[in-house]
Structure 1
């Protein structure tokens, strides 16, 4: 039997991530999507590329600078990965701006137009001149670079205008820069005789540059933007106060190395050279763009009032009537509840914490927080619970990338309210999503638990698909108590029965479950695995899946983003298919199914099959035992596996192919709104679906 873990059997992580962004861009090209929603997809690609450079490219850059030649699972060196990533990204960026140009032309036909200052009539120019003088000019700070004034600190991801000036008296050339104010709206609505058009803030500033530098003539001007390395190097063992240490590291992040320079394509070489030298960045990291720098403004354009026919029809999350009409604790004494967001409302989770905060029978509340909203009702309820004298313990993950400042703010608020705030286990991010409420009742103390796949964020719950289980099962309560005691102290996780946690036993659990399917396959029995996740990048687990495929186990993977497993390789992954669903909602739920010789098992987890999730984070996975919920989850997987609208299939060469449309049309995300209605527990599966138990 050939070796299953050779490099040719794996895809590169960075290239797979670029492929994901290409699929998102495809949604921006897809004329089946409303026009303004297509604009929003372009904004998402632009935002994703920011993070790609701040994290993935920055990491490769550090490896290259350290001259480390370690190979990734696909057999590539850091230099090879960097070169291929930059090449592929340039192709993606070119495609992004071509799509942007096409989109602008289509928007014009619906009276949504972006114009330049020069295109305005004299009366409208006068109006905009007044707006500039009263609203923009007072905020601007022009900065000239000369012997007395060194090159200033350019803030990460801010839009700037670079200028080449020449003195009117001495004819000496100098460089200047000015930040486009981020405190002002990037898109300015311009009233006209026939309605309104829009103009970008920088296009209102550029015509006035000569007034800002009146002693010089402006030879050239162009917009530019930089992206910096987002890495934070924190020694947790040496840190006396982790919160203060993280806070200090955030301040230092603004001084990080520049990892990308974006600049308008018409910028002269002289300006580009000055910026590259001052920012200490090589030319291969400079991206000339044929359009506005930073297309994330398109999300604001897509949100303009009116034009409802150019947006997705608003969907209202289904409510669970029992949880609205009765006290949630009474319902959970009788049965477990499945919540699937945003198809079902996030309100029950918020109300559960709010009810617990004010319920005199509740003695303690314990919860993990990874990413929460800016005005989190859950944090407010936890603070109120502590003020009401309840024992409240909250684990706030300070190292949640790009949410560090928000989490520091909430940590301080919770501490002031009397909550016990902990920051997790040294060396590990706490990524699990779990809530424990201890309530004194006639029969004694009872524990209520919510565990799930997504963050306790009432905002992202409207457009991230996630699921969770509400239960009062004794053993789940016992396991949750053990988990929190482990996070706050030194309790052992060995006694857990229904929850499995990383990094202690989750990897072993997955391997055991896969081995069980392998055993059944080798015995000539049916063996089947379905796994839905966000990313697949763990060499050990991928190799185990290859072993299962070689034994004859049918494996169906639904992986939204990065996937380093190479499917459909003869003798290696013949029985493995991989699909990615990219649509209106961001697929975020993690579901794991194992046929188990007919005694089917379902699990939900906070963990993807990524090395970081299984080895460097605290994660949870819980078994689903309620038969009604299991049936519902089976239907959910059947629907996702039958999608022929937003589903792509991963090919053995690493490309993705859109699943061919057929009758009947199946849009999994739309179908889910119907499935999760209160009265559809036994929704009939239409003929397009292939039962996973067959």
Structure 2
């Protein structure tokens, strides 16, 4: 391997950055948003919440997997130079440091909120009338829900649910010998009650005060243990292994197998224990003994689980100056005043850029297909949908009216398994053909096919997206959607559904690249083509906007293209295992990450191709799981104007000098700083009324 010129900042000596450590760097960038004093205060609180939610999933899946490897005695190094044990040690150290920084930020945000009249107050600091109101609330609402659970010889340790907040209570009796072991009990803080309780305002005060539910329970803990004296009450929270282990080959019914595994998830092994700062030593010892946790114990100086802050903005009225102004997604201008979407799509392809353009256009496409008498069939993939998706209603209506409706539902979409099981059953009851994909592969492609009988014959209409068919997240994530009636794309779409739902020989794709069969090879072929163009002195440039880049083979291909002289610009929101800017290896590669108001989620790939530019939309990141273990697709954009629109989106990201961070060769990220006028790509995107303008040369 080439000699590394740049310092590593304690990174392993490798041409690659470790995936799990790269993820921690991503979550640090999220935390930086919470620390950004230019950001509206309640938005900073949201980012604190996101840091917690992100870390929960990371611990319950990624770190859980590493602990499983350690338990199995696995000692082989990964391609970045880490053994599981060495990586676990590094992760716990970095994660602990991150959490300490998060709670420092929480205290700062809390102080700033207090100046605005929004306070988190301890019960002890309330006045008499406020205490009375909270006492009534506790006895009427909270007390009936609580279940104190003693732990002793006759009562074994109860099930502790993953990521729920509990109170550990150490008790004694007056008659006890001081040398005897104290009594021990736990109380779950009810997750079905509001975590933040707004207290009646003080006289002549406009301040909003909140008491946290666990603080209220702690103050009234004596009511749960009459005859005993509470010696100490401290919060704790357990994170369990949440990764599903499915035997798909042996499962007669995949839906039932997943339901069983979801029940087993409750008993997953302990991965992380969070405890309130100053926890009683006896309580900590009992928890460590029960959960068999010796490492990854985090002592928290503040409320456990800051994800409750996500709700703060919604419960407060009259604080609009502390929030972002609401965005009103525009309905695509091409579809305004259009009664028949299909008639319009006969004439032209249409591009959607969410959340700046409304997801309602996608919903209308499905709804019109459901009610159109000329539509014969609707085929669709569903990975994650919203809680009350209008798409589900439309698909059910289409099936009930006699149309052929096929829905590929991905039951293994992590943490959405139960919701997807419910949708699958509802669709089956309505008469839809529900398919759960292929054994061993998640269906992650986002595509809808509508087959319509028209005077000149059957015509296929296709929607291909980079994001899920979820009207809720379409307001929060940046994603691209393409409507087209191009016959080549329609033919490939039909073939894709035939492969997923039936027995079909691998298709000779004319437009698509499909994982796991040929997407990776097609991408490699195009990367090598750019290298050939570079050697011939022709335009050679790759731009890829993705969520993650971690597949070693893909990174090696990019390194080879860089050495051949190809300019490579990667816009990678999250994990990036490629080490840019290394002399003789990757000096022609730059990597930036943008973390801002909306979650960057769109996947766009550009190839200069010697001047004959190509642009693709993709459902896949450049990770091993996407390229090898999922059904994914890349789709070319044939329309010249729409290609220019997508290039403009890439340009905006590359020119961002407000929220962009640049990955250095030592694996650290630094903010992009230059003398150009300030460009905040997401905010600039809100201003653009039409994406149909010629782009500047890149």
Q: Cα offset for 1:8?
A: 1.0
2:119 is paired with a residue of what secondary structure? coil
Task: Tell whether 2:255 aligns with 1:246.
Answer: no
Task: Tell whether 2:477 aligns with 1:468.
Answer: no
- Alpha-carbon distance between aligned partners in 1 of 2:503 and 2:527, rounded to the nearest angstrom: 31
Q: Cα offset for 1:325?
A: 1.5
- Alpha-carbon distance between aligned partners in 2 of 1:322 and 1:547, rounded to the nearest angstrom: 42
User: 8 Å contact 1:168–1:215 — kept in the other structure?
Assistant: no
Structure 2's unaligned 5+ residue stretches are: 5-11
1:435 is paired with a residue of what secondary structure? strand
Q: Aligned match of 1:185 in 188, 194, 197?
A: 194
1:129 is paired with a residue of what secondary structure? helix
Q: Aligned match of 1:279 in 291, 297, 319?
A: 291
Q: Aligned match of 2:214 in 196, 199, 202?
A: 202
- Alpha-carbon distance between aligned partners in 1 of 2:659 and 2:506, rounded to the nearest angstrom: 40
Task: Tell whether 2:92 aligns with 1:86.
Answer: yes
- Alpha-carbon distance between aligned partners in 2 of 1:245 and 1:599, rounded to the nearest angstrom: 49
- Written as runs of structure 1 = structure 2, the 5 A alignment for 1:231-630 is 231-282=243-294, 284-303=295-314, 304-326=316-338, 327-630=340-643
User: 8 Å contact 1:560–1:580 — kept in the other structure?
Assistant: yes
User: 8 Å contact 1:482–1:492 — kept in the other structure?
Assistant: no
The normalised TM-score by structure 1 is 0.97
- Written as runs of structure 1 = structure 2, the 5 A alignment for 1:99-118 is 99-118=105-124
- Alpha-carbon distance between aligned partners in 2 of 1:162 and 1:297, rounded to the nearest angstrom: 20
User: 8 Å contact 2:120–2:212 — kept in the other structure?
Assistant: yes
- CA offsets 1:589-646 (integer angstroms, 9 cap, x no match): 0000000000000001000000100000000100011011011111111111000110
- Alpha-carbon distance between aligned partners in 2 of 1:227 and 1:351, rounded to the nearest angstrom: 41
1:156 is paired with a residue of what secondary structure? coil
User: 8 Å contact 1:645–1:661 — kept in the other structure?
Assistant: no
1:9 is paired with a residue of what secondary structure? coil
User: 8 Å contact 1:11–1:73 — kept in the other structure?
Assistant: no
- Alpha-carbon distance between aligned partners in 2 of 1:66 and 1:127, rounded to the nearest angstrom: 54
Query: What is aligned with 2:141?
Result: 135
User: 8 Å contact 1:528–1:553 — kept in the other structure?
Assistant: yes
Q: Cα offset for 1:302?
A: 2.7
User: 8 Å contact 2:334–2:350 — kept in the other structure?
Assistant: no
User: 8 Å contact 2:348–2:484 — kept in the other structure?
Assistant: yes
- Alpha-carbon distance between aligned partners in 2 of 1:405 and 1:3, rounded to the nearest angstrom: 49
Q: Cα offset for 1:305?
A: 2.4
Query: What is aligned with 1:688?
Result: none
- Alpha-carbon distance between aligned partners in 1 of 2:494 and 2:452, rounded to the nearest angstrom: 13
The normalised TM-score by structure 2 is 0.96
User: 8 Å contact 1:7–1:73 — kept in the other structure?
Assistant: no
- Alpha-carbon distance between aligned partners in 1 of 2:693 and 2:463, rounded to the nearest angstrom: 24
Q: Cα offset for 1:674?
A: 2.2
- CA offsets 1:221-255 (integer angstroms, 9 cap, x no match): 10111111011111111100100110111011101
- Alpha-carbon distance between aligned partners in 1 of 2:37 and 2:129, rounded to the nearest angstrom: 37
- CA offsets 1:376-417 (integer angstroms, 9 cap, x no match): 110111011101110000000000000000000000000000
Q: Cα offset for 1:521?
A: 1.1
**CA RMSD, Structure 1 to Structure 2 (Å):** 1.4
User: 8 Å contact 2:579–2:667 — kept in the other structure?
Assistant: yes
- Alpha-carbon distance between aligned partners in 1 of 2:313 and 2:183, rounded to the nearest angstrom: 39
Q: Cα offset for 1:492?
A: 2.7
1:536 is paired with a residue of what secondary structure? coil
User: 8 Å contact 1:483–1:493 — kept in the other structure?
Assistant: no
Task: Tell whether 2:236 aligns with 1:227.
Answer: no
Structure 1's unaligned 5+ residue stretches are: 686-690
Q: Cα offset for 1:494?
A: 2.7
